Structures are given as structure tokens and as C-alpha cells.
Chains A and B, each alone.
Chain A
Amino acid sequence: MSIPFTLNGKPAAYEGSATDRLVDILRKDFKCPGVKVGCNEGECGACSIIMDGVLINACMVAAGRAYDTEIITIEGFRETEKFAVLDRCFAETGAVQCGFCTPGMILAAECILTKNPNPNEAEIRDGLSGNMCRCTGYNAIVHAVALAAKEGKGLW
């Protein structure tokens, strides 16, 4: 009767209600506090995760929708080589200020580059457009993604 899914490469199962919010489950039951709650209505992207290879908002997902899916959160992604490149580039441009949007931004950046290893500025901005940041004005983040495309050539 459980909901099986893969979390950061490992099998997982949720025994609770299929109507529970995935973001709450990830934070509480699966100890992924890097998935942040900013608005609980799909308007800020702080809870961004990767589900079956695409960026989604974990607050917009009921647990049952995770049935049979593969989920990656910042807790899993931070162990990858691609993360290491993004980490360096975000540091270089000063793309992290308060840090609340950052895990979501990193995963959004990963999805932009997976889809298009050489994005132009407009494509980067579109790719980040669901991830709200109130601190940076976005310049540094956009710059970081462009830099990662260059420095991580071949990875994506």
C-alpha cells in the first residue's frame, strides 16, 4: 500500500497519505531539508527538485504523483561532478546571497544545461523564471549558469 519511488538513487517508499505534499514528505520523512518551502503554491521555486529528469516544484506535487518516479534533490545532486562545477561558478559570481533560493536555483541551472548545454542569456532567464530570488537581482545567477556552461563543457 506504499508509494514507491527512487530518491537520490536509492529506493524509497512513503506509507502515508497520497494527498500529502511531496515537499513536506521530503523535508520531514526523508530528511531532505535542502528542499525549501517558500510559498506552497508553485510561485517561487524554492522547493525545486528533479523528477524523472525534469525540474518540478515539490510543493505542487501530491505524494501519489511520485509513484514510480525518480527524484533528485539537492542532497543527492550535491554529490555529482556537475554540482561541483555549478558550486564553483555560483561562488565565482556571488550568486548566493541569503541562500534560501539557492538549492532550487542550482537544480534549475542543472535542468537548463541538461536541456541545452549552450544556452544564451534569454534561455537562461527563461529557465530560471520560476525560481524567485529577492536578493541578487538575478544577474549573478544568470552569469553563473553561463559560466558553468563554459567551464563544465562536455559534462552536460
Chain B
Amino acid sequence: MAEISGSVVKVDHGPKVRGEARFVADYPMEGILYGKTLRSDRARAKIQAINVPELPMGYVVADARDVPGKNGVLIIGDDTPVFAAETVEFVGDPIAMVAGPDEAEVERILREIEVEYEDLEPVLDMRKSEKVFYEYGYEKGEVDKAFAEADKVYEEILQTGHQEHGYLETQGITVVPLAGGKVKVHGSIQCPYYVRKALVLALGIEPGDIQVIQDVTGGGFGGKEDYPSMIGARVAVTALKAGKPVRVVYDRREDMATTSKRHPTYSVYKAAVKDGKVTAMDIDLLYNAGAYTTISMVVLQRGTICSNGVYNIPHMRAHGRSVKTNSVPNGAFRGFGAPQVFFAVEMFMAHIAKDLGVDPVAFKEAHFVKKGDKTSTNGIFHHGVPLPQMNEKLLTASDYWAKREAYASQPKGRYQRGIGMSYSFHGGGFTGTGERDIIKAVAALQKYPDGKVEILTSGTEMGQGLFTTFAKIVAKELDCPIDQIIVKLPDTDRVPDSGPTVASRSIMVVGELLRRAAAKIKAEWKDGEAQRVEERFQQPEWQIPFNYDTFQGDAYPTFSWGAHCVEIEVDTYTGEQKVIGAWACYDVGTPIDTTVVIGQMEGGFLQGIGYAHMEQMNYDKKGRIRSNSYSDYTMPTAADVPKMEMHLCVEEYPEGPFGAKGAGELPLVGVPGAYVNALEQAIDKDFCHIPVTMEDTLTHWREGGQA
């Protein structure tokens, strides 16, 4: 293991463990108004009137009419209104914001506002939606020919449900109006520059008049990527109207019922098999975007590109659509459109293997892509693919073959066991040429006369350890102790835009800019002087440009790899499922701090377990989310998992700092496939959906089978 991979005490450990770290809700409220959001209780309706009661002194209500700029939150498109004006499009759609000095009084006013609606028929089933937000497709090889020549053709429908981020700290933002029409924003924010960009449009002021600062952030997982832009715009409009600072901190139920989630999907997979191998796939994907487009475009792109999983499918066609429904807009969530398709392709491959009478692991292994192979979009796997070694490692660690065989012939009893494996990758960075053409990352180092060096990027620390790993990269390159490096929460007035903290790009892309900046500053080092160095992103020369129209080329410069094994026991009398063993092996290139990387792997893995069976979120017929609390939306507790055993395999990425590549999203992406495959073995039943419920795994039904 490389020297840099050794572990240090995280730079943000002290204040957090001592309870001294300040989250947005921890700042004293003196002089700040409490803001609360008035929301639609209809899934789809015209707004006829908003009747506001007489307001006491010091209280304001802001709505669409108060938006000084455009009434749209700029994300990719700007169709998400700051406040709903003509119509409401989902239960929870914000209509207005009430702000004032006393929280209870604000709540009273909120209750007394009457909104008159004319109800419209909502569309809640994505399959019935006629509004297509985005549609992509591509083809490689000769798909129709391969199907025509197949020995056997398979077809399966695979579905995935919502997933809620469940970050421990709910969303929250404070906006402070400053003299001269400027505003200062601080809060629980994953992407400060996104918030600034959104406020430019909504407030109609210049970027330089908007300062956005990240507060210590209690988890994000994608949930604080686009959403803070929406809250930020709403709070800013309200604060400007009030002429006073306003803070909004969501309560848990509001957060769960109204903020973005993982897109549910409905996928149709077809495969042609010849001589025991899959020669072609024809894939049709449907993503439920919810009411507004937010970032569904990029989520769908990633899903469509990854839809064949880690398998070399010579002939394939993929087609994806992202459609509108009258439900909460779905957005970014760790994996970003990929967990849905990895679940689908892993199950599909396992089911084909079962039909062919071979073990799924052997079948899948025979299809693994390798270095030099073409990707789904006719790009190239430029770097080593360590899947076979990772697979071996896990088969041994989990004792897969012995267990698989033993469970295949276990006597039918109340408790039955199964074991399953799955594989995944995650392409680091923005899709295609996004890093070069859209993000254009800039990172800087500021050296002070005392020799300390400050890292200046817009990268945010949300618990993933970024400040620590950034500091380690710079310290390593400068060959100095880590305490010589300063990392602060990003402030758009002080840091260049190094891009959003998303897409498993921060270490791989921004970390490398920092490493280069550190090398430069070291080369030009002048004792006792202040120096500043900036580095800009350059796309590797070998990367095949990606064409967004044809979906051809390198969608990602390189990939991180994952293999997972899950062992399960099912109580067939009750359908209760229990994880009794969990193993994974990941390749994220050189780990910049093994403890940080393992922490990401374990956390992501458990989110994947939750996604597979525990975490259920559904709408009722009126479009209301019923599981809107930590009690009803059940995420795993410490008692729900055994010790997870994580292994690392290192395939260095030459363009990443010290060989590192993307890590954050990978560990969640492929987990459900292993989980469900284990379930299938335990109760000898095939599944094509997640989450798999207790009712799904109860096998001893009485009185005429399953309801």
C-alpha cells in the first residue's frame, strides 16, 4: 500500500466529536427570523387564490409575486419554480414562505393561510406519463442480427423504488440581506456555486453580489446537491422582502416528504444468448423524474450508459426516458442513476444463468469486461479491470462456493439461507466531456508568509473525509506535516469554482489539481513570502471525446470497481430477512487514507442493503408520501447488520493524485444485486424488484397463496 494510504486523524474530527462543530441550526437565532414553507396539499391543481390572514408586525409572507428575478430555480433547466405560481405539481410543492421572529406564531400564520385550488387529475404512474423530459439512446454492434442468430432470447422487467437520503441533519439555509442589495447565504450545502448560480437568476443580481458559505454539513449523499438551490432561492426572496436574515431548517417529516429522492425505475431488459454467452442486449429504461426536471437529465445519462453493467456485451442497444409525474422531483443520490440499472442487469444475468443451469458467479465472470474492451458507448476501458482478482478475494473471504452448495441442498425448514454476489463499476467525474466543457474546474493554493498553505476549492466536507484527503494530498506533495495545511469550509467570496462535490470527482479531478498546484508551489517556494498558485482542469489526451447526441465515446475516463457478497437468513414463516454475512472488495485506485476510504465503503454498502429491502417509500392515491418519518421509513440501525468485511484492491489511475480515482458513490451502486441474489437462493424464488418486502419473502402462505 502506498505511503499516503496510511491513516491520519481526520482534520475535522476534533470539533465534531466534542459537539463544537456548528451546523446551520446551531447559530444563535438573535436577529434572525424563522422561515416556514407553505406547501401544496394537492398533487396537481391550479392555484386560484392565496388568502393570507392579517399579519402581525414583523411577519412577512413571500410568494411567486415577490421573486425579483425569474421565478425559476436554475439547476440544469429552470422549470422548478421558486414558488408555485399558476399550478402546483406535487404534494409539497412550495407556494409561499412565512417568516417572523416567533416560531410558534409563524406556524400559526402558516396554518391560517388558505389556498384555493382547482383540482386537476394527477399522473402518478410513470408508465402512464405522456410528458417525456429527456430521452437518450445509443447502439453498438449489430443488435438485430445477434437476436436473430440467438439460441435463446430472454426478456425481463425489473423495477426499483424510491430511496431517501436520510442524512442525519435535515436541510437548512440562512440568508442574510446585506447593504446594496447583496446577500450572504450559509447552510447545509453540497455545492455552494450551484446555490449562487440559482440566486443570480431568481434574484436578478450579479454573481459578485451573492456570497455562499458552507456550514458544517450533516451528510449529503446527493440530497444536498440541487435542493439547497431551491431552499436558498426561497429563503433569499423572503429575506429580501423582510429586510432581515431568515433561516429555514426543515423538520424531519417535511424533509422526507418534500426533498429529492432516488428515481424509481421500470426497465425492460432483453438478451440474446448464443453458445452459453450473452451476445446482445436490448434495454429500455424508464426513470420517474417527478414534477420538475432538476437533474434528471444527467441521472438518466449515467443510467443509460451503465445499463449493461460490468459485462462485455458486443451488441447492445439502450434507450432511456425520464418522465414527469406529479410527485416529488427526484434528484441526485449516491450512484446517480446507476444503482437502478446495476440492480437490473445483475438480476437479469443471474436469472439467465439459472435458466442455463450455471452458477451466476461463473456466468457473470465469463462476461466481465477487461482492459482494452469497448464500453457500451464504444469508448475504451483504458485501464486495468481488476474484477477477476476482486472476485477471487471475495469468494475466498466469504467461503462462497461451500456455502452456495450447502444452501442449495439445505432442508426446507423455517429458517433458510442463501448467499449471492454482484459486481459494479462507477465512472468517476462528470459524464463525457462535462469536466472540460461544463465544469472547467479551478483549484488554488495560497501560501502564507509563515509557510502554511491554504487549500482553496469549492469542495465541501459532508462527512466523506474530503478535507482530510485534500490536506493529505497537498502535504504529501509539499513533503510537510498535515498541520501546515489549512482547509476551511468553502466561501464563494474566497474560493475558485472547482466544481460541485458530486460524481465521485473530488479526489480524482480536484485532488489532482491540488497535487499539481502543490508541486508547482514547491518548485517556486520562496521562504517568508505569500504565494498563490492556480490549476485548471485538462482532459487527458487519450480520452475519446464523448458525443452527447450519439452517445459515442468515453463516457468516463476511468472506472472504479466493486464486488459484493451478501449472506442472508430468511424466516420463511414471517418473511423476515436478516443479513448474516457481508463482504465487499473495492478498487478506488490508491486510497488517499485507508480509514477514510473504508468508512465510505462501509457506509455506502449499508445504504445499499437498506435500498434492497428495508427502505420503502410509496405514494398513496392522492400522491402523498406516507413513509415520511424515521419511524416509517426504516433505515438500518447498528443492530441490523453484522460486521461488514471490506477489502481493497488497487488499480492505480495515472491521472489521479497518487493513483487515486473516484470512491464516494461506488460502494452503494452494486449491493442490491448481491442481496437479492442471496434471497433468491434462500427461498428459491426469483425477484425482479427492490425493495423486497417481508410479504415478498414469506413463503408459507395460507388460504390460497399470496394475496
Chain A-chain B contacts (Cβ-Cβ < 8 Å), number: 165
Q: How far is the CA of A103 from the CA of B18 in the complex (A)?
A: 7
- Whether B167 sits at the interface, judged by CB under 8 Å, is yes
Q: Could you give, for residues 78-99 of chain A, a 1 whenever the CB lies within 8 Å of some chain B CB and a 0 otherwise?
A: 1000000011001111101111
The smallest C-beta distance from B384 to any residue of chain A, in angstroms, reads 27
- Whether A139 sits at the interface, judged by CB under 8 Å, is yes
Query: Which B residues are in CB contact (< 8 Å) with A101?
Result: 168
Determine whether the beta carbon of A96 is less than 8 Å from that of B603: no
The smallest C-beta distance from B260 to any residue of chain A, in angstroms, reads 15
Query: Which B residues are in CB contact (< 8 Å) with A93?
Result: 595
Determine whether the beta carbon of A132 is less than 8 Å from that of B637: yes
Determine whether the beta carbon of A43 is less than 8 Å from that of B630: yes
The smallest C-beta distance from B251 to any residue of chain A, in angstroms, reads 6
- Whether A133 sits at the interface, judged by CB under 8 Å, is yes
In chain A, positions 52-74 with a C-beta closer than 8 Å to chain B are 73-74
Q: How far is the CA of A113 from the CA of B464 in the complex (A)?
A: 28
| Given known A-B contacts A36-B23, A39-B630, A97-B465, A134 and B638 have beta carbons under 8 A apart | no
Query: Which B residues are in CB contact (< 8 Å) with A46?
Result: 168
Determine whether the beta carbon of A74 is less than 8 Å from that of B605: no
Query: Which A residues are in CB contact (< 8 Å) with B167?
Result: 98, 100, 134
Query: Which A residues are in CB contact (< 8 Å) with B2?
Result: none
The smallest C-beta distance from B106 to any residue of chain A, in angstroms, reads 15
- Whether A38 sits at the interface, judged by CB under 8 Å, is yes
Query: Which B residues are in CB contact (< 8 Å) with A94?
Result: 7, 10, 465, 595-596, 598-599
The smallest C-beta distance from B393 to any residue of chain A, in angstroms, reads 18
The smallest C-beta distance from A122 to any residue of chain B, in angstroms, reads 8
Q: Could you give, for residues 131-156 of chain A, a 1 whenever the CB lies within 8 Å of some chain B CB and a 0 otherwise?
A: 11111111111100000000000000
In chain B, positions 4-53 with a C-beta closer than 8 Å to chain A are 7, 9-10, 12-13, 15-23, 25-26, 29
Query: Which A residues are in CB contact (< 8 Å) with B221?
Result: 134
| Given known A-B contacts A39-B630, A129-B638, A91 and B9 have beta carbons under 8 A apart | yes
Interface size on A, residues (CB 8 A): 53
Determine whether the beta carbon of A44 is less than 8 Å from that of B19: no
Closest to A87 in B: B17
- Whether A6 sits at the interface, judged by CB under 8 Å, is no
Query: Which B residues are in CB contact (< 8 Å) with A40?
Result: 251-252
Determine whether the beta carbon of B637 is less than 8 Å from that of A129: yes
Closest to A101 in B: B168
| Given known A-B contacts A87-B18, A90-B17, A97-B463, A139 and B643 have beta carbons under 8 A apart | yes
Query: Which A residues are in CB contact (< 8 Å) with B166?
Result: 132, 134
In chain B, positions 581-607 with a C-beta closer than 8 Å to chain A are 595-596, 598-599, 602-607
The smallest C-beta distance from A70 to any residue of chain B, in angstroms, reads 19
Determine whether the beta carbon of A142 is less than 8 Å from that of B638: yes
Determine whether the beta carbon of A97 is less than 8 Å from that of B23: no
- Whether B521 sits at the interface, judged by CB under 8 Å, is no
Partner of A137, one of B21, B216, B605: B605
- Whether B487 sits at the interface, judged by CB under 8 Å, is no
Determine whether the beta carbon of B13 is less than 8 Å from that of A90: yes
Closest to B631 in A: A43
The smallest C-beta distance from B582 to any residue of chain A, in angstroms, reads 9
Query: Which B residues are in CB contact (< 8 Å) with A73?
Result: 19
Q: How far is the CA of A55 from the CA of B598 in the complex (A)?
A: 29
Query: Which A residues are in CB contact (< 8 Å) with B641?
Result: 137-138
Q: Which of A35, A74, A102, A106 has the most CB of B within 10 A?
A: A102
Q: How far is the CA of A90 from the CA of B7 in the complex (A)?
A: 13
| Given known A-B contacts A34-B19, A74-B19, A96-B17, A138 and B638 have beta carbons under 8 A apart | yes
Q: How far is the CA of A122 from the CA of B576 in the complex (A)?
A: 19
Q: Could you give, for residues 1-43 of chain A, a 1 whenever the CB lies within 8 Å of some chain B CB and a 0 otherwise?
A: 0000000000000000000000000011000011111111101
The smallest C-beta distance from B467 to any residue of chain A, in angstroms, reads 12
Q: How far is the CA of A142 from the CA of B636 in the complex (A)?
A: 14
Closest to A38 in B: B168
- Whether B217 sits at the interface, judged by CB under 8 Å, is yes
- Whether B629 sits at the interface, judged by CB under 8 Å, is yes
The smallest C-beta distance from B167 to any residue of chain A, in angstroms, reads 6
Query: Which A residues are in CB contact (< 8 Å) with B203?
Result: none
| Given known A-B contacts A43-B631, A44-B630, A132-B635, A98 and B19 have beta carbons under 8 A apart | no
| Given known A-B contacts A37-B25, A75-B19, A141-B638, A97 and B169 have beta carbons under 8 A apart | no
- Whether B219 sits at the interface, judged by CB under 8 Å, is yes
| Given known A-B contacts A96-B13, A98-B167, A138 and B252 have beta carbons under 8 A apart | no
Binding site for B on A (CB under 8 A): 27-28, 33-41, 43-44, 46, 73-75, 78, 86-87, 90-94, 96-103, 106, 121, 124-126, 128-142
Ranked nearest first, the 5 interchain pairs of A and B with the lowest CB-CB distance are A34-B19, A98-B463, A99-B16, A100-B218, A97-B463
Binding site for A on B (CB under 8 A): 7, 9-10, 12-13, 15-23, 25-26, 29, 165-170, 216-219, 221, 251-252, 462-465, 595-596, 598-599, 602-607, 629-631, 635, 637-639, 641, 643-644, 646
10 sampled A-B residue pairs with Cβ under 8 A: A28-B29, A34-B18, A40-B252, A97-B599, A99-B218, A100-B167, A126-B638, A134-B165, A135-B464, A137-B602
